[in-house]
Structure 1
Amino acid sequence: MLLADLVDTVETVTATRSRLAKIEALAAVLRRLRVDEIGPVVGFLTASPRQGRVGVGWRGIASLDAVHAMDPTLTIDQVDEALDALVAASGSGSVAARGATLRELAEQATTAEWDFLSRVILGELRTGALEGVLLDAIARAAGRPADSVRRAAMLSGDLGETALLALTGTAEELDAVGLVVGRAVSPMLASTAATPSEAIGAVGEASVEFKLDGARIQVHRNGDDVRIFTRNLADITHRLPEVVEVVKAMPVTAVILDGETLALDENDAPRPFQDTMSRFGAAAARETVLHPWFFDVLHVDGRDLIDEPLRMRRDELGRIAPEHRIPGEVTSDPDAAERVSQEALAAGHEGVVVKAIDSLYAAGRRGSSWIKVKPVHTFDLVVLAAEWGYGRRQGWLSNLHLGALDETGEFGGGFVMVGKTFKGLTDALLTWQTTRFPEIAVRETPGTVWVAPEIVVEIAIDGVQRSTRYPGGIALRFARVKRYRDDKRPAEADTIQTLRGMLRG
């Protein structure tokens, strides 16, 4: 397939706000692909090439001096091979080799194709074709049930492989995709409510559990082999030996657990989140001991439990890890839920998560059956840009442009700007921003550095208000930075739809 055909499809998807039109346009191009083109094209559509990071940043692309082709001749195969070459370049002379490959690719591409490829390489493609839309398009193109495709993608953790299986395999092969002990699965996510009573009203009888201020972990054990993954599915087993030992002591042979880990002080109160995250870095400080707590079990000794109700999974977790199960209480009483929330806050934790007691484990999805409740409104947003400061902040990147995830494509997809803030930024954070943001810059305008949407920041707000200034129709009220969430992916950011739901009336 010519790259131009894919670029035309992306332009069509970008130009429409209709979800059905997006799905049909993407399905049409997927039906035309050869088997070996499926993986690369899915990577291009999600701005996540199968090669991962290719060692090219905004400055490398901006400084490129190339004359683009007049007519489209570049194929999907040629682009994929060029990205392979960029990744393969290493050692002495790698910079020159990478530059030559990039220049050759740019010269083979038309202006429209190069604009598309630049955004794919930098990870800032905004087509409105979010993962959910693309999953539906794969299902449409393959003639498979959308639920089957979505489930396979979440359990395999690989959208490209799921597309390949759906488009070329049988329905039985697609439905056979399941949990594999040792292979990380996308975690289930929670929506947000203002109070425990509101959450209980939404889900009915529920497990009301402490929401720890820790780092989420997914732990797999197969015999004596234990692997630990972050919420981003990165393997950090070698950095958490104390967690490995806890799981090895459990009375099971094979298990997949979902939970959190955090550091405690001498009074068994949670230490600052940064102390916990210090153990996840390359130069981990081993004197900070992490303690694991688990709130779900997905597999035990040959049995997948994700399609079993939480009531049963909770009992099973209590059997195999009673001393490491996150505190909580099963109730349908709003007053009891409020009491558990106050107990969690008194113990130094963030609040509670209210989970429908008969809910299934929806891997990789943000459902309505898990609802997190914090005493203040906090949201995980994505940094879109930063402005150069003035006065005391002269020379520092300061005022942040904040974006919420457009989960449905209602506002064009990608991330929708919802406000700015410079509040809550310490000198240490300002220094870090000023160093980090230029490394992921995609363009610069006077006074502002625009960055690839890959950094998640937790923002506290007093609420939202209607606004004609931003495309989502809302603006944050009294936003301030709480912390950066380098344990979260942009796809896990809170949505514009959730924020709009806070509008009164």
Structure 2
Amino acid sequence: MLLDELALTADTVASTRSRLAKVDALAELLRRLEPDEIAPAVGFLVGKPRQGRVGVGWRGVAAATGEPATEAELTVDELDTVLDRLAAASGAGSSGERSRELRELIGRATTREQGFIGRVLLGEVGTGALEGVVTDAIARAADRPVDLVRRAAMLSGDLGETARLALTGAEAELAAVGLEVGRPVLPMLAATASSAAAALETTGEASVEFKLDGARIQVHRSGDDVRVFTRNLADVTHRLPEVVEVVRGLPVHDVILDGETLSLDEDGAPRPFQETMSRFGAETARESVLHPWFFDVLHVDGRDLLDEPLSTRLVELERIAPGHRIPGEVTADPDVAERVSRDALSAGQEGVVVKAIGSPYAAGRRGSSWIKVKPVLTYDLVVLACEWGSGRRTGWLSNLHLGALDPIGEFGKPGAFVMVGKTFKGLTDELLRWQTERFPQIETRRTEHTVWVEPSIVVEIAIDGVQRSSRYPGGIALRFARVKRYRDDKSAAEADTIQTLRGLLRG
């Protein structure tokens, strides 16, 4: 199949809000793929090529992008093959080799294909083809029960391979996909609530557990062989020898554990999330040690526990890893749930997760059985600039550059604004239209992608906190920023300060 057909379908899916229309378009495309094209194509559509990250960033893509081809000739298989070569490039000269491969590939691509290739490489496909939509499309194209396809994808952790099996194999082959020690599964996800008491109203009796400010891990052990995976199912065993050592010491032969790992300070309190992630991503040894904490067990010594109630899984977890259990209490009392939530925040953690005590482990699903509760912080910041959108937001000003007031001139001129992050989250179509009309009226300069504006418009932004960053002059960056509303009632001089935001840093 020509890559242009994939790119065109991605654009079509991105341009419609209708889930049914998205599924129809994707299913029609999937039916026309050759068997060997199915897994790569699905990976491209969801922004997760089977090769993972291949060592190419936006600068590399920009440098390789030139005059587009006038006629589509690239195929899905050719893009997959080039990504194999990019992923395999290593050692002296690998950077130049990647650049050459990339220039040759993008030079053969049409304008639409160039944009699509760039988004695939950067993990920013932005088609609206979320994995749930693609899963439904696979079931439609293969005429298989959607629950069967969904479970196979969850337990295999590989949507592309699930698609190949669904479209080319028998239904019994899909049904035979099960839990395997050593093969990661998609993690169970949590919904959100405003308070622990409110979450308890939904779940009934529940395990109210600390939500650690760490990195999610899934650990598989078979005998002495231990493997550690991220929430995105990347194998990071070599980076976490301390976690491997802990799990090898547990009184089991085979086990699959779900949990978190984080770095602690001298007093046993969590270090800032950024420090954990820096250590988590290090390819070489670091001084800081990551401590594993587990909140679930999916398999133990030949016994699958996915479909067992949480109460049973917690008993097993306490039996095999009592010293590495995430703190929490089982309760149906909202006052107890709120106390655990306060205890978690006092300990420097993010909040709590409230888990229905009778719930099975629904791999890859976000339902109402697990509900996370985190305090939402809101700050009034100033819009410094806005970037033009892509995909469904093409033609609209979308991604906001956000600044905090520096009244004392600690990071520049007194009364100026210090950039602290960007966001396009939370913007409705109405707000996008308003921005696109309003910002050019106060424009100070622009480039091809960005419009800078007078720092006069205040926007209320919700964040999960801040982290240290060398990207911005104030030394911090917002975490998970999203737009709540514009504040017409406030002037820029009333915006929150960079000093206030820096005060959120722990340590």
In 1: Cα distance, 2:270 partner to 2:56 partner: 40
* CA shift in 2, pair 1:152/1:457, >3 Å: farther
For residue 147 of structure 1, report the CA deviation from its aligned partner: 1.7
Secondary structure, aligned partner of 1:363? coil
For residue 275 of structure 1, report the CA deviation from its aligned partner: 5.0
2:117 alignment partner in structure 1: 117
Matched, 1:341 2:337: no
Worse-superposed segment, 212-221 or 10-19: 212-221
User: Could you tell me whether the CA contact under 8 Å between 1:45 and 1:129 is conserved in 2?
Assistant: yes
Matched, 1:189 2:189: yes
1:400 alignment partner in structure 2: 421
* CA shift in 2, pair 1:119/1:393, >3 Å: farther
* CA shift in 2, pair 1:424/1:346, >3 Å: closer
In 1: Cα distance, 2:374 partner to 2:464 partner: 20
Matched, 1:313 2:313: yes
2:2 alignment partner in structure 1: 2
1:179-328 to structure 2, matched below 5 A, reads 179-265=179-265, 267-274=267-274, 276-277=276-277, 279-280=279-280, 281-286=282-287, 288-328=288-328
Secondary structure, aligned partner of 2:161? helix
User: Could you tell me whether the CA contact under 8 Å between 1:378 and 1:458 is conserved in 2?
Assistant: no
Secondary structure, aligned partner of 1:220? strand
* CA shift in 2, pair 1:27/1:62, >3 Å: same
In 1: Cα distance, 2:278 partner to 2:55 partner: 26
1:233-281 Cα offsets, whole Å, 9 max, x none, are 3334344444333323322211111122344455544444455445422
1:127-184 Cα offsets, whole Å, 9 max, x none, are 1111111111111111112122122222222221111111112212112222221222
* CA shift in 2, pair 1:65/1:164, >3 Å: closer
Secondary structure, aligned partner of 2:364? coil
1:448 alignment partner in structure 2: none
For residue 358 of structure 1, report the CA deviation from its aligned partner: 1.0
User: Could you tell me whether the CA contact under 8 Å between 1:460 and 1:481 is conserved in 2?
Assistant: no
In 2: Cα distance, 1:301 partner to 1:404 partner: 43
User: Could you tell me whether the CA contact under 8 Å between 1:263 and 1:276 is conserved in 2?
Assistant: yes
User: Could you tell me whether the CA contact under 8 Å between 1:424 and 1:481 is conserved in 2?
Assistant: no
Secondary structure, aligned partner of 1:353? strand
List runs of 5+ in structure 1 lacking aligned partners: 412-417, 437-455, 469-475, 485-505
* CA shift in 2, pair 1:29/1:331, >3 Å: same
For residue 185 of structure 1, report the CA deviation from its aligned partner: 2.1
RMSD over aligned CA atoms reads 3.9
**TM-score normalised over the length of structure 2:** 0.75
In 2: Cα distance, 1:371 partner to 1:331 partner: 14
Worse-superposed segment, 86-95 or 302-311: 86-95
* CA shift in 2, pair 1:239/1:424, >3 Å: closer
User: Could you tell me whether the CA contact under 8 Å between 2:212 and 2:260 is conserved in 1?
Assistant: yes
2:132 alignment partner in structure 1: 132
1:357 alignment partner in structure 2: 357
User: Could you tell me whether the CA contact under 8 Å between 1:23 and 1:134 is conserved in 2?
Assistant: yes
For residue 91 of structure 1, report the CA deviation from its aligned partner: 5.4
* CA shift in 2, pair 1:482/1:464, >3 Å: farther
Matched, 1:464 2:484: yes
**TM-score normalised over the length of structure 1:** 0.75
In 1: Cα distance, 2:402 partner to 2:239 partner: 36
Worse-superposed segment, 13-22 or 271-280: 271-280
In 2: Cα distance, 1:274 partner to 1:69 partner: 42
1:350-376 Cα offsets, whole Å, 9 max, x none, are 332110111111222222211122344
* CA shift in 2, pair 1:45/1:422, >3 Å: closer
Secondary structure, aligned partner of 1:117? helix
In 1: Cα distance, 2:374 partner to 2:71 partner: 56
1:173 alignment partner in structure 2: 173
Secondary structure, aligned partner of 1:28? helix
Partner amino acid, structure 2, of 1:74: L
In 2: Cα distance, 1:214 partner to 1:249 partner: 22
* CA shift in 2, pair 1:352/1:34, >3 Å: same
User: Could you tell me whether the CA contact under 8 Å between 1:457 and 1:483 is conserved in 2?
Assistant: no
1:161 alignment partner in structure 2: 161
In 2: Cα distance, 1:118 partner to 1:361 partner: 36
For residue 192 of structure 1, report the CA deviation from its aligned partner: 1.8
User: Could you tell me whether the CA contact under 8 Å between 1:384 and 1:403 is conserved in 2?
Assistant: yes
Partner amino acid, structure 1, of 2:180: V
In 2: Cα distance, 1:110 partner to 1:304 partner: 49
User: Could you tell me whether the CA contact under 8 Å between 2:464 and 2:481 is conserved in 1?
Assistant: no
* CA shift in 2, pair 1:116/1:224, >3 Å: closer
* CA shift in 2, pair 1:103/1:467, >3 Å: same
Count of matched residue pairs: 441
User: Could you tell me whether the CA contact under 8 Å between 2:463 and 2:481 is conserved in 1?
Assistant: no
* CA shift in 2, pair 1:255/1:398, >3 Å: same
For residue 109 of structure 1, report the CA deviation from its aligned partner: 2.7
Secondary structure, aligned partner of 1:129? coil
1:82 alignment partner in structure 2: 82
1:28-48 Cα offsets, whole Å, 9 max, x none, are 010011111112211221233
1:350-406 Cα offsets, whole Å, 9 max, x none, are 332110111111222222211122344599xxx967579997359x99342224499
User: Could you tell me whether the CA contact under 8 Å between 1:69 and 1:111 is conserved in 2?
Assistant: yes
In 1: Cα distance, 2:305 partner to 2:502 partner: 38
In 2: Cα distance, 1:94 partner to 1:278 partner: 24
User: Could you tell me whether the CA contact under 8 Å between 2:460 and 2:486 is conserved in 1?
Assistant: no
In 1: Cα distance, 2:24 partner to 2:365 partner: 23
Secondary structure, aligned partner of 1:53? coil
* CA shift in 2, pair 1:325/1:246, >3 Å: same
User: Could you tell me whether the CA contact under 8 Å between 1:278 and 1:284 is conserved in 2?
Assistant: no
Matched, 1:370 2:370: yes
* CA shift in 2, pair 1:330/1:384, >3 Å: same
Secondary structure, aligned partner of 1:124? coil
1:146 alignment partner in structure 2: 146
User: Could you tell me whether the CA contact under 8 Å between 1:465 and 1:477 is conserved in 2?
Assistant: no
List runs of 5+ in structure 2 lacking aligned partners: 380-397, 433-458, 489-494
User: Could you tell me whether the CA contact under 8 Å between 2:191 and 2:368 is conserved in 1?
Assistant: yes
